[in-house]
Amino acid sequence: MKKLILLVAAIALGTFALSAQSITKEDKDRAKALVEKMTLEEKIDYIGGFDGFYIRGIERLGIPQIRMADGPQGVRNNTKSTLFACGVASAATWNEEAMKEMGVGLGQDARARGVHILLGPGVNIYRSPLCGRNFEYMGEDPYLAARAAVNYIKGVQSQGVMATIKHFALNNQEYDRHHVSSDVDERTINEIYFPTFRAAVTEAKVGSVMTSYNLINGVHAAENPWLIRTNLKEAWGFQGFVMSDWTSTYTTLGCIRGGLDLEMPQAFQMNAEAIKPLIEAGIVEESEIDEKVQNILQALIAFGFLDRPQLDKNISEDNEYSRKIAYKLSCESAVLLKNTGALPLKSGKKNTIVLMGPNADVIPCGGGSGRVDPIHSTSLAEGMKSLGKNYVTKLYKDGKPDANTLKKAAAVIVSVGFDKTCEKENSDRTFTLPAGQDELIEYACQHSDKVIVVIYAGGAIDMSRWQDKVSAILMGWYPGQEGGQAIANILAGKVNPSGKLPMTFEKTLEDNPTYRFYYPVEARTKRGMSCKTAFYGEGLFVGYRGYERNGVEPAYPFGHGLSYTSFEYMASNTIKSGDGYDVVFTVMNTGKYDGAEVSEIYVGEKNPCVVRPAKELKGFAKTFIPKGKAAKVTVHLPKSAFEYYDVKSHSWTLNPGYFTIYIGSSSADIRLTEEVLM
Ligand code: BGC
C-alpha cells in the first residue's frame, strides 16, 4: 500500500521517469539487430511517415505503429484536450517549475490518448512582432527560451512521451516560408539561434528534432548537412532522430545526404521509386538508409515504445492535473504593462464594470497546428461572472455601450487582439490590431478615464493610438482554457500579476532592430540569389540587444511587468562558485500585497575583444515574497555565462577580464550591479 501511495505521488509530481531518455548501448544494439532483419523495402518504407501523423509499424518484428500529435500548447489531432497557455506565455511566467509542470501535463494528456511523440516545443527566436508563429515560441532571448524549452521537454519526457523541438532552424518568419533563405553569419546563429536547440539536446536529451521549411544560407533545412550533421549530430552529439516539417523536403539525395532520418508526413522524396535506382546505380549505399532506420529505432527503444502500450488508461482524458497547471500558467504569464491605479478593480454593487470587445467572450487561441480544442474553457466574461455579485459586469459582445453607460462605469474593460484566423502559421500578421479594434478603444477613452485594455496576441502590437489614454494594459497572450478565469482574478486583485515580457514591445514597427531586414527586398536584389533571402543584418542585435545598441527607447522593455505590490532590491554580493559565480541579493516586498518577483541577471563584458551586446540575460529567479517580508535570492552564473562564440576557433570562448553583473527587475530597470573578474 505504501509503495502504491509513493507511486501515485511520484506520477502526480511528474518526477517518475517512465523511460530512459539517454540512448544506451543496449538500445543501439537492439535497434541494429532489428535493422539487420529488415528488407530494403521495409527500411525505405520506414523512413517516410504515413496517415498524416504516424510512423509505420512492422508487425513481424514487433515494432508498433507510432503516433504523433501537435503540438506546443496542447495535444491536437482528432481529440479535444487541455489547452495550455501558449509557448510564449510559458516563457512569460519566468517560472521554471511551471514550465516543467506544463510539460508533465502535456505528457500525461499524450499518454491518456496513446500519443508517443508530441510535436513541441517550438522555440524559434522572436525577431519581429510580425511572425505569425511567435505565440507558439518562447520570445527573443536565447537564455530564457532555452530554460523554457529544457523544462518543457523534461516534463513531457518524464511521462514516457517523446518531445520534438522545432523548427530547426531560423524559421523566424512565416511569410513565404518554403522559399525564403534565412542568411545569417556563424557567430549570430551560434549565439542567438542555436542555444535553445543545443540545450534541448545536451541538457534535456530531447528525443526528436523537426527541421524548418526555410532555407539556411541557401540550403533547405531538411537537406542541410551543415545544420543536421555538422552541428546537431556531430558537435552536439544528438542521438535521436531528425524529422522534416510536413512537406518541407525537396530532393531525394538532399534528404539522404543531409542527415534527415524521417520524412513527414509521407515519403515524397525518400520513397522506393526514387531510392532504389540510386542504390542500383551505386550513388547511394544501403547503409545510408540503415543509418536513418537505426536512428529512429534506437530512440523509440530508449523511450520504451517497443515494450509497453503507450495508452495509459489510468490517466483521464479530462486530466485534473493538466487543468490545474493550465490555470497556474495563465495566472503567472499575464503581464501587467501599465497601471495608473485602475487595477485591481473596485468591488461593490455601485461599481459597474463594462466589458466589451471582440475577445470578451471567446477563448482566444492562435491558429494552424498550434490550435487546440479544449474540453473545458472559461472566457473572460465567464471569469468576471464567477467573481460573484460584488463585481457587477455588463457584457457587450457585439456592438458598443452608449456614452452614458461608459461614463457611469467604474471601469471599462476592452478585450482586443488576434485569433486563430489572423495569427497563425504560413502567414505573418500585422503590427496593428485587426480592423476596428483601435477605434473601439479610442471610443471607450472618449467617454471614460478608467479604460483597461486586455490584449490577446503572440507579441507586441501597435498601441500608439491609445497607450497614453488608457489606465491599464494587461497582456494576456493566448492564455489557454483557464485564461478567462485567471485574467478575471488578476483584474479583481485575487491574483497578483507576476509575468514579465519575453520580448521588447516597440513604439513603432520601424523601431524594431530587424525592421530593415525582415522583409528582404534590398538584400534579395543586392545578393542576386535565385531564392528570396531574409538577411539577418542586425546580427546579434535582436530584441533588447538591438534597442540598447541603437539607443531606441521601447514602449515596454524586455523583462518588464508590473505587480500590485512593490519590491526593493538590496545587499548584493558575488561569491566564487564552481567555474563561475553565485550572485546573491535580497528582495523585499515593500507593498501591500503578497506577490512574486522575477529578478533578472544580465552580464556585460567591460573590455570585449569583439563587438558584444551591452548586456545579456544569463540567469533569473522568480521568488514569492509575502508583503512586508524579504527573501535572499541566489542565482548561479557558470563560466559559460561570460563566453562569446569565437568564429576563429568555432567555439565558445572566454576573454579573461572584468564583467559587470546587472541585477534588475527588467532589462531597463537595473537595481544593483556587481563587478567580477573571470
Ligand atoms: C507545422 C508543424 C506541425 C506540422 C504537423 C506543420 O505545418 O509547421 O509545426 O508540427 O504541421 O501539424
The helix/strand/coil state of 194 is coil
One-letter identity of residue 433: L
C-alpha triplet 562, 567, 573: angle, nearest 5°: 125
Q: Using a 6 Å cutoff on CB, does residue 369 contact ligand 1?
A: yes
Q: Are 90 and 152 in contact (CB under 8 A)?
A: yes
Task: Tell me 437's DSSP state.
Answer: H
Instruction: Give yes or no for residue 438 CB within 6 A of ligand 1.
Output: no
- Residue-wise burial string across 129-145, b where 16 or more C-beta atoms lie within 10 A, e elsewhere: bbbbbbbbbbbbbbbbb
Q: Is 589 in the pocket of ligand 1 (CB under 6 A)?
A: no
Which are the contacts of 24, defined by CB distance < 8 A and separation ≥ 6?
Answer: 302
User: Is the separation of the CB atoms in 598 and 615 below 8 Å?
Assistant: no
Query: 567 CB under 6 A from ligand 1?
Result: no
Cell of 447: 467617454
Instruction: Decide whether any atom of ligand 1 lies within 6 Å of the 597 Cβ.
Output: no
Report pTM. 0.96
Place of cell 497556474: 328
71 Cα nearest atom in ligand 1: 10
State if residue 425 touches ligand 1 by the CB under 6 angstroms criterion: yes
- Which ranges of the chain have pLDDT less than 70? 1-21, 520-531
Q: Is 246 in the pocket of ligand 1 (CB under 6 A)?
A: yes
Q: Which ligand 1 atom is the nearest neighbour of the CA of 70?
A: 10
pLDDT for res 533? 83
Contacts 24+ apart (CB under 8 A), 227-235: 227/168, 227/169, 227/258, 227/259, 228/168, 228/258, 228/259, 228/260, 229/258, 229/259, 231/194, 232/168, 232/197, 232/201, 232/259, 233/259
Q: What is the pLDDT of residue 155?
A: 98
Total residue length of the chain: 678
Q: In whole angstroms, what is the distance from residue 9 CA to residue 3 CA?
A: 10
Residue type (1 letter), 116: H
**Cα 200 from Cα 194, distance rounded (Å):** 10
Ligand 1 centroid vs 529 CA: distance in angstroms?
Answer: 28
User: What are 604's three cell numbers?
Assistant: 556585460
483 pocket-lining for ligand 1 (C-beta < 6 Å): no
Distance from C-alpha of 66 to C-alpha of 116, rounded to nearest angstrom: 6
* Ligand 1 atom 3: residue of nearest CA: 369
The rounded Å distance from CA 56 to ligand 1 centre is 19
Q: Which residue's entry shows cell 504560413?
A: 426
Cell for 297? Answer: 529505432
Mutating to test ligand 1, I would choose from 262, 369, 424, 427 the residue with most ligand atoms within 8 A of its C-beta, which is: 369
Look at residues 163, 261, 258 and name the one whose alpha carbon lies nearest to residue 216: 258
Q: Which entry of 27, 70, 183, 245 is annotated as an active-site residue?
A: 245
User: 495 with 466: CB under 8 angstroms?
Assistant: no
- The residues that bridge with 617 in the sheet, in sequence order, are 602
Mutating to test ligand 1, I would choose from 167, 170, 246, 426 the residue with most ligand atoms within 8 A of its C-beta, which is 246
> Of all atoms in ligand 1, which is nearest to the CA of residue 369?
12
Cα 367 to averaged position of ligand 1 atoms, centre (Å): 11
Crossing angle between the packed helical segments 286-302 and 272-280, to the nearest 10 degrees: 130
Quick one: which of 240, 252, 258, 263 has its CA closest to 47?
Answer: 263
Nearest Cα residue to atom 11 of ligand 1: 246
- Read off the pLDDT of residues 192-227 as tens digits, 9 standing for 90 and up: 999 999 999 999 999 999 999 999 999 999 999 999
Please provide the distance, in angstroms rounded to a whole number, between the alpha carbons at the two ends of the chain.
54
Residue 245 catalytic?
Answer: yes
Q: Which atom of ligand 1 is nearest to the CA of 167?
A: 9
Closest residue by Cα to residue 200 from 177, 223, 169: 169
Q: Which ligand 1 atom lies nearest to the CA of residue 136?
A: 9
Residue of 70, 135, 424 best suited for mutating to test ligand 1, as the one with most atoms within 8 Å of CB = 70
pLDDT at 126: 98
Distance CA 280, CA 285 (A): 9
Rounded Cα gap, residues 351 and 360, in angstroms: 19
CA angle in degrees (0–180, nearest 5) for 97-100-105: 120
SS3 585: strand
Place of cell 452614458: 404
In whole angstroms, give the CA distance from residue 650 to residue 668: 32
Q: Is 136 in the pocket of ligand 1 (CB under 6 A)?
A: no
Residue of minimum CA distance from atom 4 in ligand 1: 246
Ligand 1 centre distance from Cα of residue 245 (Å): 6
46 Cβ below 6 A of ligand 1:
no
CB atoms under 10 Å from CB of 285, counted, come to: 12
Which residue has the least CA distance to atom 6 on ligand 1? 246
116 touches ligand 1 (CB under 6 Å): no
Distance CA 180, CA 103 (A): 32
